[in-house]
C-alpha cells in the first residue's frame, strides 16, 4: 500500500495526515498568516517525517473554476489555478504556495475540489441575474465546503440517519448553509466565490453590489477586495477578532452585535431553504463553530421554532473523503 500525504490548507493553518492501510502520522500547523510560514510548514513536515517515504500527495483545493473532478496537479494545471487564485484568496493562494513547496518531495500531486459536491445544484439555483452570456462563461454559483458536506452525507447514510430534507450548516472561519435533498445539494449560500453568504470570520458575506461602486470613488478595487475578504465579517463588525471564542468572552457591545448578526443571517438562510426543500427533517451543524459552540447553535435555532425538525452535530473528517477520492483516481 502506498503512503499518501493529504494536505488540507486553510486561511491560517495546514493540516496534514499520512495514510497507508492506517494513519501513520497526523497533525496541524497553525497561525500561518504569511506566504513564508506556509512554505516553512512543508519544510518542517519533511523534517518531521524522517525516513517515512511519501508516494503521493493530495491537496484539498477550494476553487478550481470549471474544474471540479479530482485530477493530477501537473505544471499546466497549477498554472490554471494561479490564474484563478483570486476567486478564493483566503484558501487558493496558500494552497498554491503549499503545492509549489511540495515539489521537494518529488512525487505526483493530486487535487480534490471543494466544489464537486455542489455540481448537482439545478440551473435555476446557480445562475445569477446577469446577461446569460456571462453564465456561459462560467460566472455562476459553484458552492464550497463540499468535502465537508460529502462527509456529512456519507456519515448519515452509514449510521442510518439519512433524511430527505436536510440543511447543513458548516461554520468555521468560513460559513456555508446548504439545502440537501435526497443526499444531493440543491442550493448553497456560497456562490461564484466563497465571499457570498452569511458574514464569516473576516469575510463580509453577501452585500449590495453597489456598495463596491460607492467605495470605489475613494478606494482602489484591490483595497476593496482586501476589505471584503480580510477585514470584514466578525472582525469588521466587532473591531476585535475574527475568532468567535474571543467575541463570546468579550463584554464589548460590538462583539455581541457581531455574534447576533452571524446567528441572524444563518437563521435567515435556513428559513429561505425550507420552501426550497418543501419542508425540513434535519439540521446538521459542523465545522469548528458548528461542532463546538453550543451558544451559537442555540441562538440560530431559537429563530426557527415554527417547524418541527431534528438537529445533529457531526465532527467532520475531510481527510477521509479526500483519501477515498484519490484512491479512486490512482486505482
- What cell does 289 get? 463553530
Neighbours of 82 (CB within 10 A): 14
Residues classed as catalytic = 114
8 Å CB contact between 88 and 114: no
Percentage of the residues of the chain whose pLDDT score is greater than 70:
100
Going from N- to C-terminal start, the domains of the chain cover: 4-113, 161-313
Neighbours of 311 (CB within 10 A): 14
* C-alpha to C-alpha distance for 213 and 219, rounded to whole angstroms: 10
pLDDT of residue 33: 72
Structural class in CATH, domain 4-113: alpha beta
Candidate ranges 31-40, 43-52, 89-98, 195-204; pick with highest mean pLDDT: 195-204
Q: Write down how long the chain is.
A: 331
- What are the tens digits of pLDDT across the range 25-59? 899 998 787 778 888 999 999 999 988 999 999 99
pLDDT of residue 12: 78
Q: Rounded mean pLDDT of the chain?
A: 94
| Residue closest to 71 by CA, chosen among 99, 100, 19, 112 | 112
Architecture of domain 161-313: 2-Layer Sandwich (3.30)
- What are the tens digits of pLDDT across the range 280-305? 999 999 999 999 999 999 999 998 99
Neighbours of 229 (CB within 10 A): 21
- What are the tens digits of pLDDT across the range 104-113? 999 999 999 9
The reply to whether domains 4-113 and 161-313 share a CATH topology is: yes
In angstroms, what CA-CA distances link 111 with 62, 80, 326? 9, 13, 8
Amino acid at each position: 500500500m502506498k503512503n499518501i500525504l493529504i494536505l488540507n490548507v486553510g486561511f491560517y493553518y495546514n493540516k496534514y495526515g499520512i495514510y497507508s492501510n492506517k494513519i501513520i502520522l497526523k497533525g496541524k500547523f497553525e497561525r500561518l498568516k504569511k506566504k513564508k510560514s506556509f512554505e516553512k510548514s512543508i519544510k518542517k513536515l519533511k523534517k518531521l517525517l524522517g525516513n517515512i517515504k511519501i508516494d503521493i500527495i493530495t491537496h484539498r483545493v477550494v476553487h478550481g473554476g470549471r474544474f471540479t473532478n479530482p485530477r493530477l496537479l501537473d505544471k499546466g494545471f497549477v498554472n490554471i489555478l494561479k490564474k484563478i487564485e483570486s476567486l478564493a484568496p483566503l484558501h487558493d493562494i496558500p494552497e498554491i504556495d503549499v503545492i509549489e513547496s511540495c515539489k521537494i518531495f518529488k512525487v505526483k500531486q493530486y487535487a480534490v475540489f471543494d466544489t464537486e459536491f455542489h455540481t448537482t445544484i439545478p440551473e435555476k439555483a446557480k445562475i445569477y441575474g446577469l446577461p446569460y452570456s456571462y453564465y456561459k462563461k462560467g460566472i455562476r454559483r459553484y458552492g464550497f465546503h463540499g468535502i465537508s458536506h460529502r462527509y456529512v452525507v456519507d456519515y448519515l447514510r452509514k449510521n442510518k440517519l439519512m433524511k430527505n430534507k436536510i440543511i447543513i450548516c458548516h461554520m468555521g472561519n468560513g460559513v456555508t448553509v446548504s439545502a440537501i435533498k435526497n443526499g444531493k445539494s440543491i442550493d448553497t449560500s456560497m456562490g461564484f466565490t466563497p465571499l457570498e453568504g452569511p458574514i464569516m470570520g473576516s469575510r463580509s458575506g453577501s452585500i449590495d453590489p453597489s456598495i463596491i461602486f460607492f467605495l470605489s470613488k475613494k478606494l482602489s478595487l484591490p483595497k476593496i477586495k482586501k476589505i471584503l475578504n480580510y477585514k470584514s465579517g466578525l472582525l469588521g463588525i466587532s473591531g476585535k477578532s475574527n475568532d468567535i471564542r474571543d467575541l463570546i468572552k468579550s463584554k464589548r457591545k460590538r462583539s455581541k452585535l457581531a455574534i447576533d448578526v452571524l446567528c441572524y443571517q444563518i437563521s435567515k438562510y435556513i428559513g429561505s431553504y425550507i420552501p426550497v426543500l418543501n419542508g425540513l427533517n434535519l439540521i446538521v451543524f459542523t465545522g469548528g463553530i458548528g461542532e463546538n459552540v453550543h451558544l451559537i447553535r442555540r441562538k440560530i435555532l431559537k429563530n426557527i421554532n415554527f417547524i418541527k425538525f431534528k438537529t445533529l452535530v457531526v465532527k467532520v473528517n475531510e481527510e477521509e473523503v479526500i483519501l477515498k477520492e484519490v484512491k479512486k483516481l490512482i486505482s
